[in-house]
Chain A
């Protein structure tokens, strides 16, 4: 159906306001640019119609013409705004432009009011060269160098067409980075899918992974990390986020402003086709329903080869200082690039649309303006440099075409207008700013989801827990094999992590680490994290937890975290519950960044991630970037092989509480989601990060691994398997009884790190911890000879059995590559990569200091730390914890005896909310 365009008609049918032709003609007159206005006015409308071209003069003359704005996703009042702005009905092309520029995806109309906090709560930073509002934030990391990074979503396209959706997601974010003047140097991909064993996941995941790899590999960008998460809530709406990192000389920073009237507007890159038309409005800004399959034509098709050439061409143009301004073409294609470049400079633009190289000659003006064909950039160049620009493009075999020129602001100081002609017909005559800045802004209604209180009351701490060594052993093997905790090699080995030769750390390490200056060893560390379950239980703290984890993952490598990017994946903003979750998440991220003292440099919002009424868990994905003055100091996650009975000591940093709600264990073993996520203390995360950087710099650490999903057990297994080194762990006394060993191994308390410290460094390291006020505890030793993970008095599991359990899951689910290879890599790197990991660090201390080779007697216990200045405090911590755990054994009985589905309210002592929670029930 087509809604009547005229509000008057809508309200009082029959009453048509007459359309005075004369004043309208004025609006047709071009603001500069050699267009003979007269002929348009004279041009026979009928002829235009049959030609299918709706010109400005046509629009002026036919105000009552019905227009399909509703079908294009515009509301009545939005359409009226357009008519007010133009003083007439929009042409077909203009309507298309407004509909995409005012879509949720481009205008952020629902999120703007909340995102302002990132600007308001920004901590002081002298590093920020470009922030929110630019294509990507740019952060200075040395006198000469800056880095830029950003994460974006390509969720809906990837569900409709997994390979192309994911591939063009990578392509899009890479162009954002390129547009800042940077050379893209790495990518990361946080991915979320439905249940691992669901048939449709077997369709989506392999396509997405192949698309990410197919595009990124062909571009020559190492893929250094990301996430692969499974949860039924993403079944109808997988999340495909893509992050790109770029490096630039500080003085090569590019602007998007189309300054300088008379400058030439050049379109460079691929030809423009019909692909991706309406991608942002049709796909990104609407909820999935039946018939989403028919949207496949809205998904763009990528050509990484063209993008690779585009990258090289652009970098050559930058270095030769041939461009005044540059903007990538992504969502909303040419429309977005033309209006944003002009609006940011306050200038106007004159574009000859017929000059745009087309794949399909039959394309109409509105299609050319709306097309989201990939691998295109818009350049603004001075006339005298045009030839040099075209020459460079030609060298790299990319198409470059002058399609228009920058025009002056109008005499009265008003910004210029965007005037687009197509074969001499004026099809667009608009104020560019009206599309970019004057879009609608909504303060949508928000309401805490009704079910949240009940959800939070249903705590996982009351679920039955394993309390025997056998049960604990079985639980560990089951956990490390569960899809979310299992080894992801099946996915990551489809990505090139070596190209460019600067990858110092890549998945499965906590962070990707890239060397950006071969001369000085300067590098950056990057991690992206998110936990939809935590955010579902508490969007505010859940988002802080995501920030904390990414921050910690960067810190454990020894890097100093300096900047944040984010991709906020949520359901429909028209649902007050979702809108509340979004507001809470943004507040949490803004507050968190303020507390950590690192700014949000940019990001992306993805709404309408739901199929029908079912929204995904609120899923804020947070990326943190850190700096390493010398990448040789970076600390890997794997235990280091030692000869001659030598071993490293294992310390657990941070406090372990009984925090199981929202945990991987609750989900895997009870399919339970409820309670409150772990506490997050960003002040302590900050102290921990400073400690890690210092310890890494002076060489106290041979390995460091963040604790998160799956708790200590998961980190131990990963650190053992990385290089095939066993470990022997002693359960601290206060965790000795009942199911407390389980809590010690599987609690997901935040702010914790597992580190291995070479012999001879223990005293200095623990003294440093004490000095910084970071709780530490000696929990065991590495054991290169045993080839097993042993938890004293509980269980002993051989590394081969662990590796089998950990690596078999994804190949079993998705077929293809066998998992056995990991062992080879592990052992071989054990003999080789060791060098860099420890060369800069006096790891192999004189064996004189090695007293007895560690054996069962040498099993560390809390007592072992007595006498060290920290011990008092340590004991206090312990007793404090013990107090909380006193009644544990008795409550164990209650809890264990309770059926999994029963609330078991009275269980779990030392817990204030419990009573309140049970009251609410």
Chain B
């Protein structure tokens, strides 16, 4: 059976269609999930897409975190369900305390959209097992509040436990501490990433196909996990 990967749409989600397309291209079945729907419809994994959920009011991801669907996502994630938060999704995961730290205003205060080189630091997660450790990939980054910050202890812990999933190379686009672009939880099933792998899955529309690896990874992971 093909894996069913849920893509949540919050009011103000923008890259939900792109995430669903990426899931489809990777060979899985995208399942659209609605923010007000406290139900995951038995999906095997969940993607929290990029955008401006609830207009980024109060704080990026601060309101989305309380959406009915998020209660289920949090429970399931703690139970091992693979969850990928992209950009705004990363912000939501931090607000929901599934991931440590926070994403703040870019240091230079500008929204920035560019093709960004990343180095994959950890391939032990549900979303990066298709990459080689140390592999450099090119995927778009586009955010106004993508500057990852955490206290030193947390940063050291992330580094020590190999939970820094990807780092910016060739220029840090937002001032993130230690060039952090993506991190994971201790179990490795929840990954938050600021750049947009779903925008690098088609040669025609992306700077590369490097983003596809995140979505094929979760399929590999799911095959490995007893349903």
Contact = CB atoms under 8 A, between A and B. Distances in A.
A820 interface: yes
Interface string B42-54: 0000000011101
Contacts of A632: 204
Contact of B205 (A397, A503, A816): A503
A305 B52 CA distance: 8
Nearest to B170: A824
A493 B52 contact: no
Contact of A825 (B110, B114, B209): B114
A504 B205 CA distance: 5
Contact of A832 (B12, B144, B208): B208
Interface in B196-220: 196, 198-199, 202-210
Contacts of A496: 111, 113, 142
Contact of B11 (A214, A397, A818, A835): A397
Interface in B99-136: 108-115, 117
Interface stretch (B13-21, B148-156, B185-193): B13-21
Contacts of A839: 203
Interface string B1-37: 0000000000110110110010000000000000000
B114 A821 contact: yes
A308 B12 contact: yes
Contact of A821 (B109, B110, B170, B210): B170
Contacts of B12: 218, 305, 308-309
A495 B55 contact: no
Contacts of A217: 52, 111, 142, 144
Contacts of B196: 498
B207 A829 contact: yes
A493 B55 contact: no
Interface string A818-833: 1011001100110011
B86 to A, nearest CB: 12
A818 B111 contact: no
Contact of B108 (A495, A816, A824): A816
A493 B113 CA distance: 5
A500 B204 contact: no
A396 interface: yes
A505 to B, nearest CB: 10
Interface in A797-853: 816-818, 820-821, 824-825, 828-829, 832-833, 835-836, 839
A219 B114 CA distance: 19
A731 to B, nearest CB: 35
5 contacts: A494-B112, A498-B142, A825-B114, A828-B207, A836-B204
A726 B21 CA distance: 37
B212 to A, nearest CB: 12
A515 interface: yes
Interface of A: 210, 213-214, 217-220, 303-306, 308-309, 396-397, 492-504, 515, 518, 631-632, 816-818, 820-821, 824-825, 828-829, 832-833, 835-836, 839
Contact of B117 (A498, A816, A828): A828
A305 B115 contact: no
B115 A494 contact: no
Nearest to B21: A501
B57 A305 contact: yes
Given A220-B51, A498-B113, A816-B110, A825 B207 contact: yes
A817 B171 CA distance: 10
Interface in B147-182: 170-171, 173
B203 A833 contact: yes
B140 interface: yes
Contact of B110 (A306, A309, A494, A498): A494
A835 B117 CA distance: 19
Centre residue among A492, A499, A829, A839 by max chain B CB count within 10 A = A499
B51 to A, nearest CB: 7
Contacts of A518: 21
Contacts of B115: 824-825, 828-829
A304 B203 CA distance: 30
Nearest to B209: A832
Nearest to A213: B111
Nearest to A839: B203
B98 interface: no
Contacts of A504: 204-205
A828 B208 CA distance: 8
Given A501-B205, A816-B108, A829-B207, A305 B18 contact: no
Nearest to B18: A501
B138 interface: yes
Q: Enumerate the 10 nearest inter-chain pairs by beta-carbon distance, A residue then B residue, closest first.
A: A305-B55, A220-B14, A832-B208, A501-B18, A498-B199, A836-B203, A835-B203, A836-B204, A825-B115, A828-B138
In this complex, which of B14, B18, B140 has the most chain A Cβ atoms within 10 angstroms of its Cβ? B14
A217 B50 CA distance: 11
Given A500-B17, A825-B115, 9 more contacts: A214-B111, A218-B14, A305-B12, A498-B18, A498-B113, A498-B142, A515-B205, A632-B204, A833-B207
B113 A495 contact: yes
Given A210-B110, A493-B112, A501-B198, A832 B203 contact: yes
A818 B171 contact: yes
A301 to B, nearest CB: 14
A396 B13 CA distance: 12
Q: Of A214, A833, A839, which is in contact with the most chain B CB atoms at under 10 Å from its CB?
A: A833
A56 B96 CA distance: 58
Given A397-B11, A824-B117, A218 B21 contact: no
Given A305-B55, A305-B57, A494 B207 contact: no
B207 A499 contact: no
Contacts of A836: 203-204
Contacts of B14: 218-220, 308, 499
